[in-house]
Amino acid sequence: MSFNTFGRMFRVTTWGESHGPALGATVDGCPPGVRVDEATIQHWLDRRKPGQNKYTTQRREADAVKILSGVFEGQTTGTPVQLMIENTDQRSKDYGDIAETFRPGHADITYWQKYGIRDYRGGGRSSARETAARVAAGGLAREAIKALAPGVQITGYMVRMGEHEINRDRFDWDQIDRNPFWVPDAQAAETWAGYLDGLRKSGGSVGAVIEVVARGVPAGLGAPVYAKLDTDLAAACMSINAVKGVEIGEGMSAAILTGERNADEIFMGNDGEPVYSSNHAGGILGGISTGQDVVVRFAVKPTSSILQPRQSITKSGEPTQIITKGRHDPCVGIRAVPVGEAMMACVILDHLLMHRGQVGEHRGSIG
Q: How far is the CB of 24 from its own copies (least distance, A)?
A: 7
Within 46-85, the residues that bind its own copies by CB under 8 A are 66, 68-70, 72-73, 75-82, 84
158 in Cβ contact with 63 (< 8 Å) = no
Q: How far is the CB of 93 from its own copies (least distance, A)?
A: 16
Within 296-355, the residues that bind its own copies by CB under 8 A are 299-306, 308, 310-313, 315-317, 319, 333, 353-355
Measure the CA–CA gap between 132 and 15, rounded to whole angstroms. Answer: 11
DSSP state of 302: P
What does each C-alpha distance from 26 to 6, 10, 29, 80, 337 come to in angstroms?
A: 11, 10, 10, 7, 22
Within 217-256, the residues that bind its own copies by CB under 8 A are 219-228, 230-235, 237-239, 241, 243-256
Measure the CA–CA gap between 144 and 346, rounded to whole angstroms. Answer: 10
54 in Cβ contact with 43 (< 8 Å) = no
323 in Cβ contact with 309 (< 8 Å) = yes
Q: How far is the CB of 98 from its own copies (least distance, A)?
A: 13
Residues 6 or more apart in contact with residue 5 via CB below 8 angstroms: 11, 12, 13
Residue in 42, 56, 155, 290 binding its own copies, rule: CB under 8 A? 290
Q: Is the dihedral of CA 194, 200, 202, 208 positive or negative?
A: positive
Within 93-152, the residues that bind its own copies by CB under 8 A are 102-107, 109-119, 124-126, 130, 148
Q: Which is nearer to its own copies, 174 or 347 (CB)?
A: 347
HSE-up of residue 124 (Cα within 13 Å, Cβ side): 15
Residue in 122, 139, 156, 204 binding its own copies, rule: CB under 8 A? 204
Instruction: Choose the stretch contacting its own copies; rule: CB under 8 A; options: 48-56, 170-178, 189-197, 258-266.
Output: 258-266
Residue in 180, 291, 293, 327 binding its own copies, rule: CB under 8 A? 291
358 in contact with its own copies (CB under 8 A)? yes
Q: How far is the CB of 336 from its own copies (least distance, A)?
A: 11
Q: How far is the CB of 2 from its own copies (least distance, A)?
A: 5
